[in-house]
Structure 1
Amino acid sequence: MSMITIEELKNLKESEDKIEFKKGERGNISYDGGSKTKPSDRRRCILGYVTALCNEKGGYMVIGMSDNYPHQVVGTNQNLGSIGDLEANIYRDTGIRPKVYELFEKSKRVLVIEVPSRPVGKVFKFEDVSLMRVGEELKAMSDEVYLKILNEQDSDFSKEICRRLSISDLDLKAIEILKEKYSIKQNNPQFRTLSNEQILSDLELLVNGKLTNAALILLGKDEIIKKLLPQASIILEYRSLENQIPFENRLVYIQPFFKLIDTLWNTINLRNGSFPIQDGAYIFNIPYFNEEVIRESLNNAITHRDYRRTSEIVIKQFPQRLDIINAGGFPIGVTLDNLLITPSTPRNRLLADVLQKTGIVERSGQGVDKIFYNMLSEGKSEPDYSKSDFFHVTLKLSAVIKDRAFALFIDSIQKELPKHKKLSVLEIITLNKIKERLPKKNLDLEQVNKLLDKKLIERRGKTNAIFYILSKDYYEFTDEKTKYYNLLEPDDNEVLAKIIQFLDKEDFAKMGDFANLFEGKLSRRQVRARVDKFVNDKMIEQVGSGKSTKYILGENYIKEMEVIYKAIDIVRKTNNKEK
């Protein structure tokens, strides 16, 4: 991690260089405003300054140096021994991911909080106020500035001219691969015969004699990429244990995309294993890491990452898990909730267009669909994007097969359905949610109706207690018919048996107890109707009224049990006489 030096700090100016100096010798700079009641005083804290600096497109908060220019080191005890906690707490409380580190001049300690730039179109707040620095004060952002930020759009970095790049800096092997893939995708063998300049121009990688950043990323020689755009490198780390901090192997790749993507997959695949799956007499293997999933995940990371940020793409490989972390949050308008349904606008559109024209990707945004589709179709967990934030996208891919039967079931369905009716990724996700018994509110009603039409799921219950289960075919396929019948709506005899069993143990119950017994299978209204019927039949008895109403075993049930006990006693006495 590259850190600023004390000598550099001494010569920076607070306003021009986006830096805030605080002495804080005794470590008394408030973290969150503490007990101060005046808003302007509360803001002058670590969280307030971090928020304002982030809104100013990043900067530094420095504790332990004077604010008079040139800045002298005075030393500080601020967060001595707890800088890791400080970094974690800032991220927890603001969503801003800073770098916190210590610098020393002789025995005097300086604490540096390096604040990243806000993402395009995003404003951060402290105590619901969008802050900006105005002189020595932290003030609410003006409406004009606030609206200007909200209306920002990501510019296409890949389309910008890379002024220090020339055609001689491009990798000829990478260009040949591009030619080959384009000619196959476009069914145009003549493309291979065109000059390099013509090809680059046709793909808009060369504009008015100037090469773009996309040309550098896709085709630049290793040493040129390292010199002009070092953050375009990809780091691959391997650990044999998931809770292990130090890596056992670390490789850094700085190559043009058209050579890099195969190299990366081949390296990951060296440690790839597989799960044997038996379908009748036939045994086949499902790999830990599906090639299409890994390639699409890497394509997305390279296409969508923010190359203006100085951090690399990091891949962490474990025996049965793989994480991919890339700089820059989701594109504008994309969130965890709409990841699969919102058309994605790539952060680097020209880069994405070239990959589409060469058949690396089919269309923008489709890669995520393929990742979900393959993972769930193989019986694995959904791809996990939950650790993503405004500054990074983190994708976790589990190799573990959670449900082999589900994988075989999906495979059998897809083989039987005609091409135009095959299951979509959203339908498979919905099937998986129903299998996992997630609440109805988590289901996409449009997908539910499609699955009902295909008779792959069944509706159970009524009104508020409606729920869905996989079709009987699934449970017959998995040889688990009893599970299917256990999921059906209970009839009167089953409901009464469960209520009697509860009252036998608890002596009395309230309506809420009965509702809890059948949660997810019967609505409260349905439970009340059944209970009223059992009261009329005198199988249970209602005691009291209103909120104090209780239920106990009823007269007819007690009589029935007396008859049963007498019959048992007669049989026992008869058996004793015969002996």
Structure 2
Amino acid sequence: MFMITIEELKNLKESEDKVEFKRGERGNVSYDGGSKLKPSDRRRCILGYVTALCNEGGGYLVIGMSDNYPHQVVGTSQNKNSIGDLEAKIYRDTLIRPEVYELFEKDKRVLVIEVPSRPAGKVFKFEDVPLMRVGEELKPMSDERHLKIIQEQEPDFSELFCDGLKISDLDIEAIEILKEKYSIAQNNKQFMLLPNHQVLSDLELLKGNKLTNAALILLAKEDILVEKLPQATIMLEYRGLENQIPFDNRLKFSQPFFKLIDDLWNTINLRNGSFPIQEGPYIFNVPYFNEEVIREALNNAITHRDYRRSSEIVIKQYPQRLDIINAGGFPMGVTLNNLLNTPSTPRNRLLANVLQKTGIVERSGQGVDKIFYKTLSEGKSEPDYSKSDYFQVTLKLSAVIKDRAFALFIDSIQKELPEHKKLSVLEVITLNKIKKRTPKKDLDLEQLNKLIDKKLIERRGKTNAIFYILSKDYYEFTDEKTKYYNLLEPDDNEVLSKIIQFLNKEKYVKMGDLANLFEGKLSRRQVRARVDKFVSDKMIEQVGSGKGTKYILGESYIKEMEVISQAIDMVRKTKNKEN
């Protein structure tokens, strides 16, 4: 984190430099407006100023300095010993992710809330009102400004020219790696023989006599990259325990991409292990961290991150988990809900295009597919993006194999299917959802039909009670064939037996009870049809009508039990006489 200094703050102008100063000596700056009745008064609080500054493109809320220029330190007790709590509360209540820290001038304390810029096209609100600063006031944003923001398009940072960057600032070895990878990916051996100037021009890294930010990120010498774009650095932290806060080891990677990516993976792989999987003829090892998954995740982070934000990409490696955190939320139009269904628009299109042409990535939007496909196919938990928001993407990857049988199931299927019929990522995801008994409404009908055609799932039940199960092969891998048969639709004898068991413990049963008894296996209509048949056969008896209808043991069942009882009694008496 790059913290501003008190000396820098003293010379800032509130409107020009996007900063708001509050004295707050006694720590009395309201967090959320408190009990003030007028909306205009409630807005002048921490949440109001954070919201407005974020909408302005980011800035600073400074408590403990006078608002008269040049600003003098007066000191504050605002949120003393609770700045972490303040940071968490602001995020909870606004979804804005600030940095909160303290500065000191001798014994006088200053509290700084550094507010990030809003993402392109996004407006934040306080009490459902988008705010902007107007002089000393916080006012509702004008319709014109609101419309202009929501119609914004994200600029391609990687396509912008990098001031002062020269070809001599580029790493020769990185350029050679780029040329080699391009020649292999495009099957063009002549590309290796082209002069560097032409290579850069052909890939649009050089336009006229100016190099782009993409050239800086991909090819610049380490000292140049750190000087011009320090946030392009990647931090790798290792912790021996998942609940551990301080790291055991921290490494910094600041090379150009074409040298960095292999070095980074090799370092992660030093602490990698594998799980041996064996079931009859099926034998294979599953690595804790799959190389393709990790590389795709890193490529996504580097390609899609927001380089205008000052934070680096952070990788947190644990023995059996790996987190990747990068600045900038999902690209425009992408959310947690459509992550796999919406083709992504790279935030840094030129950077993505070069990586595609050099074979580093297949094509835009395919990286997440591969991450999900490989991870689920290995029987691990789904990749977890749930902690992502408008300001950063967080990916958590678990190394633990949750379902060994599922890994074997997928592996055996893929080995048997011809190349053009192998399972897609959406089919594997659907199989995983069915395994977890996901409700029918949350399943993709197109994928269900494909899996039924391939005989990998089975449809059970009728009408509203339809549900899906994995094929018998999966349950053979789990060595739990009884579970498979338990999931089948019960026949009349099974249904009657379960009803009789219930009535042997209770005096009567209602239709609602019976519907609950067979929930997930039979619809209410199916249960009623079976019950009507049992009533007709006098195995159970209907008492009452309408909402008061109840069912008790029937005449036929009672007589049948009496006959069975008499027969058993006769057998017992005969044996006693013989003895």
TM normalised by structure 2 equals: 0.95
* 1:81 matched residue in structure 2: 81
Q: Which amino acid aligns with 2:78?
A: Q
Q: Which moved more, 1:536-545 or 1:227-236?
A: 536-545
Q: Which amino acid aligns with 2:412?
A: S
CA distance in structure 1 between the partners assigned to 2:500 and 2:35 by the alignment: 57
Partner of 2:116: 116
Name the SS of the counterpart of 1:438 in structure 2. coil
Alignment of 1:10-409 (within 5 A): 10-281=10-281, 283-409=283-409
Q: Report the alpha carbon displacement of residue 111 of structure 1 after superposing the two structures with TM.
A: 2.1
Partner of 2:492: 492
1:283 aligned counterpart, secondary structure = strand
Q: CA deviation at 1:477?
A: 4.8
C-alpha separation in 1, matches of 2:505 and 2:106 = 74
- The more displaced of 24-33 and 348-357 is 24-33
Stretch moving more, 390-399 or 471-480:
471-480
Q: Which of 305-314 and 21-30 deviates more?
A: 21-30
Q: How far did 1:56 drift?
A: 0.8
CA contact (8 A) 2:18 2:60 kept: yes
Partner amino acid, structure 1, of 2:99: K
3-state SS in 1 of match to 2:402:
coil
Name the CA distance, whole Å, in 2 between partners of 1:46 and 1:544.
65
Could you tell which deviates more after superposition, 278-287 or 387-396? Answer: 278-287
Distance 1:550 1:71 in 2: 81
Question: Which string of whole-angstrom CA distances, capped at 9 and with x for unpartnered residues, describes residues 197-229 of structure 1?
Answer: 111111111110111111111111111111111
Which amino acid in structure 2 is aligned with residue 207 of structure 1?
A: K
User: What CA distance in whole angstroms lies between the structure 1 residues aligned with 2:179 and 2:19?
Assistant: 48
Q: Which residue identity does 2:485 align to in structure 1?
A: Y
Query: Residues 199, 573 of structure 1: CA spacing in aligned structure 2 closer, same or farther, 3 A cutoff?
Result: same
Structure 2 regions of 5+ residues with no counterpart?
none
Q: Distance in 1 between matches of 2:482 and 2:387?
A: 38
How far, CA to CA, are the matches of 1:23 and 1:555 in structure 2? 87
Please identify, of 4-13 and 464-473, the stretch whose mean Cα deviation from structure 2 is larger. Answer: 4-13
Q: Which runs of 4+ in 1 moved over 6 A?
A: none
- 1:130 is matched by which residue type in structure 2? P
Name the CA shift for 1:63/1:524 in 2 (closer, same or farther; >3 Å): farther
- After TM superposition, the structure 1 stretch with the greater mean CA deviation from structure 2, 233-242 or 75-84, is 75-84
Residue 524 of structure 1 aligns with an amino acid whose one-letter code is R
Structure 1 match to 2:427: 427
Q: Secondary structure at the match of 1:223?
A: helix
The 1-side partners of 2:380 and 2:96 are apart by 32
Alpha-carbon distance, 1:546 to partner = 4.5
Relative to structure 1, the CA distance from residue 8 to residue 413 in structure 2 (aligned partners, 3 Å threshold; closer, same or farther) is same
String of CA shifts for 1:495-546, please: whole Å, max 9, x gaps.
2222232333344444333222222212222223333433444444444554
Give the whole-Å Cα distance in 2 for the aligned partners of 1:450 and 1:562: 53
Go from structure 1 to structure 2 and tell me whether the alpha carbon gap of 1:578 and 1:106 turns closer, same or farther (over 3 Å shift): farther
Q: Deviations along 1:335-391, whole A, 9 cap, x unmatched?
A: 111111211111111111111111111111111111111111111122111111111
Partner of 1:473: 473
Asked if structure 1 preserves the Cα contact closer than 8 Å seen for 2:2 and 2:310, the reply is no
In structure 2, what residue type is equivalent to 1:243? N
Shift of 1:550: 4.2
What is the identity, as a one-letter code, of the residue corresponding to 1:415? K
Q: Secondary structure at the match of 2:342?
A: coil
Give how far 1:431 is off: 0.9
Which whole-Å CA distance do the structure 2 matches of 1:477 and 1:277 have between them? 12
Whether the 8 Å contact between 2:303 and 2:346 is mirrored in structure 1 is: yes
Tell me the CA shift for residue 50 of structure 1.
1.2
Report deviation, 1:419. 1.7
Distance 1:132 1:528 in 2: 62
Q: Kindly tell me: are residues 39 and 408 of structure 1, through their superposed partners in 2, closer, same or farther at Cα, counting changes over 3 Å?
A: same
SS of the residue 1:437 aligns to: coil
The alpha-carbon deviation at position 555 of structure 1 amounts to 4.1
Q: Which amino acid aligns with 1:256?
A: P
Deviates more, 1:96-105 or 1:522-531: 522-531
Provide the C-alpha distance between the structure 2 equivalents of 1:41 and 1:545, rounded to a whole number of angstroms: 64
Superposed displacement of residue 75, structure 1: 3.2
Q: In 1, Cα distance between the equivalents of 2:167 and 2:297?
A: 30
Q: What is aligned with 2:534? A: 534
- C-alpha separation between the residues in 2 aligned to 1:35 and 1:572? 84
CA separation in 2, counterparts of 1:56 and 1:505? Answer: 69
**Aligned equivalents of 2:272, 2:541: Cα separation in 1:** 64
1:36 to 1:280, Cα distance in 2 relative to 1, 3 A: same
* Residue 461 (structure 2) aligns with: 461
The 3-state SS of whatever aligns with 1:500 is helix
Deviations 1:58-110 (A, max 9, x none): 11122233333333333333323222121111111211111112233344333
Distance 1:504 1:64 in 2: 76
Deviations 1:242-270 (A, max 9, x none): 11111111100000111101001111111
Describe the shift of the 1:545–1:229 C-alpha distance in structure 2 as closer, same or farther (beyond 3 A): same
Partners of 2:448 and 2:218 lie apart in 1 by: 42
* Mean Cα deviation higher: 479-488 or 349-358: 479-488
Give the Cα–Cα distance (whole angstroms) in 2 for the partners of residues 498 and 357 of structure 1.
63
**Structure 1 residues 73 and 498: alpha-carbon distance in aligned structure 2, compared to 1, 3 A threshold:** farther
Deviations 1:258-290 (A, max 9, x none): 110100111111111001111425632111111
* Matched residue type, 1:5: T
Assess if the C-alpha contact under 8 Å between 2:409 and 2:473 holds in 1.
no
Question: Where do 5+ consecutive residues of structure 1 fail to align?
Answer: none
Deviates more, 1:43-52 or 1:528-537: 528-537
RMSD, aligned CA: 2.0
Equivalents in 2 of 1:253, 1:326: separation in Å?
Answer: 14
Three-state SS of the structure 2 residue aligned to 1:235 is strand
How many angstroms apart in 2 are the aligned matches of 1:155 and 1:535? Answer: 72
What amino acid is the match of 2:472? K
Q: Map 1:445-460; keep pairs closer than 5 Å.
A: 445-460=445-460
Contact 2:414 2:423 survives alignment (8 Å): yes
- 2-side partners of 1:82 and 1:561: how far apart? 73
Partner deviation per Cα, 1:141-175 (whole Å, 9 max, x = no partner): 11111111111111111111112211111111111
Q: How far off its partner does 1:133 sit?
A: 1.5
> Take 2:320 and 2:476, find their aligned partners in 1: how far apart are those partners?
30
Q: Is this contact kept in 1: 2:185–2:358, CA < 8 A? A: yes
**Cα distance between partner residues in 1 of 2:252 and 2:115:** 26
In the TM superposition, residue 313 of structure 1 has moved relative to its aligned partner by: 0.6
Which is further off, 480-489 or 245-254? Answer: 480-489
Distance 1:553 1:217, change over 3 A: same
- Count the aligned residue pairs: 579
Q: Residues 71 and 281 of structure 1: is their aligned pair in 2 closer, same or farther, counting only changes over 3 Å?
A: same
Deviation at 1:422, TM superposition (A): 1.3
- Alignment check: 8 A CA contact 2:233 2:252 kept: yes
- Partners of 1:253 and 1:261 lie apart in 2 by 9
In the alignment, what sits opposite 1:441? 441
Distance 1:559 1:108, change over 3 A: farther
What SS is found at the alignment partner of 1:15?
Answer: coil
CA distance, structure 2, for counterparts of residue 109 and residue 544 of structure 1: 79
Query: For the residues of structure 2 that align with 1:247 and 1:225, how far apart are their CA atoms?
Result: 26
